[in-house]
A and B are shown apart, each in its own frame.
Chain A
Amino acid sequence: MSSLARARSVALAVAWRGIHNAFTNPAFLLPSVMFPLFFFMAFAGGLSGIQNAPNFEFKSGYSSFQFAFVCVQAAAFGGVFTGFAIAADFEFGFARRLLLAAPNRGGIVIGYMISAMVRAAFVIGVVFLAGLISGMRIDGSIGDLLALLVMALGVSAVATLWATGIAMRLRTMQAAPLMQMPIFILLFLAPVYVPIELIVGWVHDVAQFNPATAFLEAARGFVSGEPDKVGVAAACVVGLGALAALWARGGLRSAERAG
C-alpha cells in the first residue's frame, strides 16, 4: 500500500468516525447548529434597522448581509468544535491509540478536517433553509452560492488546522478557550454588523487588515450576485491554510513525542 493510500484510508476512517459522532450525538450536533442559527436570528432580526443608516449599501437586504457572516462563522466554528473533539479524544485515550494504530498520522489530521467540513456544510445548509423560510433574498446565482460554499469549506479547513494544533499540543479540553477565543475575536473585528466603511475607530483600522474581512466581503458578494474581493479571500484561505497546516503538523509532532 502506498503512503498516499495509507493516508487516504486513515483520513476516511477518522472522518467517518467524526461525522458519525457529530450526527448521532445531539450534544455535539445541537450546539454547532443552534449557535449559528441563533446568531442569524438575533442579528438579522434585532439589528435589521441599521440598514436604514446613511451610506449602508447592500442591495439584498440585511438578512442576506448577516447570512454571509453566519456562513463564515459556522465554517470557522465547525473547525473549532472539531478541535474540541480532538482534545476530548486525547482525554479519553482514544487519540493515543489512534496515533499508535494509524499507518499514516497525517491522515488523522486530514480526517478530522474532512469531518469538520462536512459538519460546516450541514450547518450552512440548515441556516440557508432557515433564511429562505424567513424570506431572505438571494441575488447570487447557483455558481455564486457554490463558490460561497467552497470558500466556507476553506475557512473551515483553516480553523480545523488551527484548533488541531492547539488540541494536539495541550491534549486537554481545558484548551477549548484557546481554540475559540482567537477565532471569535478575529471574526468580530471584521465588518459583522455594517459594511467596513461604516465602522469607526480602531476596529475599522484592524478590520482593514483582518483576513476575516476578506471572507465576509467575498461571501456578501456571492450572496448579492456581485462577487467582490474573491481573489483576496482565496489568497487568505491558501496563505492561512499553509500556516495553519504547519501549525497542525507541529501539534502532531508534539503529540507523537508525548507518546
Chain B
Amino acid sequence: MSALASSAMPAQVGLLAGRAVRHIIRQPAQVVFPIVFPLVLLAVNSSGLDAATKLPGFPTTDYLDFALAVPFMQGALFAALNGGQDLARDIEGGFLDRLALTPMSGPALIAGQLGGALFMGVVSALIYLTVGLLIGSGIAAGFGGALVLLALAVTISFAFACLGTFVALRAGSGQAVQGFFPLFFVLLFLSSAFFPRNLIEQDWFREVATYNPVSYLVEGIRSLVITGWDGQALAQAFGIAALMIAAFLALSAWALRTRLVRT
C-alpha cells in the first residue's frame, strides 16, 4: 500500500509540503528573484525618495525605515505567484488528476501546496529583516517587535499564497496565474507603500489607498519599524491577513471540489 493510502492527513500534508519545498529549492529562479528584486527596489527607493523625509509630517527621518515594509509585501506577492504557478503546473501536467485517484484528501492537497509558499515566506522575511537591519534600519518596537514583524510578514505571505492557490485552482493554467501578477502589483502601487497617506496630494489616490487593504498590511509592518507598538495598526494588519486567509482558503476548497468533479 502506498504511503499516501496509509497515511493520516498530517502525513499527507507533510508529503505534499515536502514536495513543494523541494520543488522551490530546485528552481533557483524561484528563490533568488523573489528575494533579490525587492531588495534592489528597497535600495533604489530609499535613495531616490529620501528627499520625502524632509517634508513636514513625514513619519521618519530615514526613508529606509519607511520603505522596509515594502519588500515583505513584494515577497508575499511573489509567494502568491510562484505557489499559484506551481499548482497550475500540477493541474496542467495531470498531477492533480492522478492525486484524485488516491485517498489524498482535498484539504491536505491545499495545505501541502501552501507549505511551499509558507517556507518561502519564512525564508524571505528573515532575509529582508536581516538585510534591513544590516543596512541601517532599526526596529522601534525592539526585539519582540522584530518577532511580531516576522510573524505578520509570514501571515501576510500565507494570505497571498492562499489567493494564488485559489486563482490557480480556478483558472487551471500557469498563464492565467501570470496574468494576475500585474493586478497584485497594482494593489501594491496604489497603496500607502511608498508615501504616507496623509501626504498624498491627489485626492483620488489617497481615497484608493485608504480603501486598499494592502495599505493596512504595509502600515502594520511599518508601525513596528517606525512607531513601536501600535495596537490599532497591528490589529488591522493581522485582521485583514486573517480575513484573506479564511476567505481564500474557503474559495480554494470550493474551487478544488469543482475541479475534481470536472476531472
- Please list the residues of chain A having a beta carbon within 8 angstroms of any beta carbon in chain B: 31, 34-35, 38-39, 42, 44-50, 52-56, 177, 185, 188-189, 191-194, 198-204
B51 touches A203 (CB 8 A): no
A177 touches B47 (CB 8 A): no
A204–B50 Cα distance when bound, in Å, is 11
| Complex: chain A residue closest to B52, CB-CB | A50
A39–B45 Cα distance when bound, in Å, is 15
B195 touches A34 (CB 8 A): no
The answer to the question of B260 belonging to the interface, with a C-beta cut-off of 8 Å to chain A, is: no
Number of A-B contacts (CB under 8 A): 84
| Cβ-defined partner of A34 (8 Å) among B33, B182, B201, B205 | B182
Q: 1/0 contact trace for B32-59 toward A, CB 8 Å?
A: 0100000011011111111110110000
Chain B interface size, as a band, is 20 to 34
Would you call the interface of chain B mostly helix, strand, loop, or mixed?
helix
A191–B41 Cα distance when bound, in Å, is 14
- Could you show 13 A-B contacts with beta carbons less than 8 Å apart? A31-B182, A34-B182, A38-B189, A39-B189, A44-B202, A45-B200, A53-B51, A188-B41, A189-B44, A192-B44, A200-B50, A200-B51, A201-B50
Among B51, B182, B201, chain A packs the most CB atoms within 10 A around the CB of B51
Would you call the interface of chain A mostly helix, strand, loop, or mixed?
helix
Min CB distance B206 to A, Å, is 9
A203 touches B47 (CB 8 A): yes
| Cβ-defined partner of A52 (8 Å) among B33, B55, B202, B205 | B55
The 6 closest A-B pairs by CB, nearest first: A203-B47, A45-B205, A42-B189, A53-B51, A198-B51, A201-B47
A215–B209 Cα distance when bound, in Å, is 31
Min CB distance A36 to B, Å, is 12
Given A53-B54, A54-B54, answer yes or no on A202-B47 (Cβ-Cβ < 8 Å).
Answer: yes
Given A34-B182, A46-B202, A47-B195, answer yes or no on A193-B33 (Cβ-Cβ < 8 Å).
Answer: no
Q: Which B residues touch A49, using CB under 8 A?
A: 52, 55, 195, 199-201
Among A35, A45, A200, chain B packs the most CB atoms within 10 A around the CB of A45
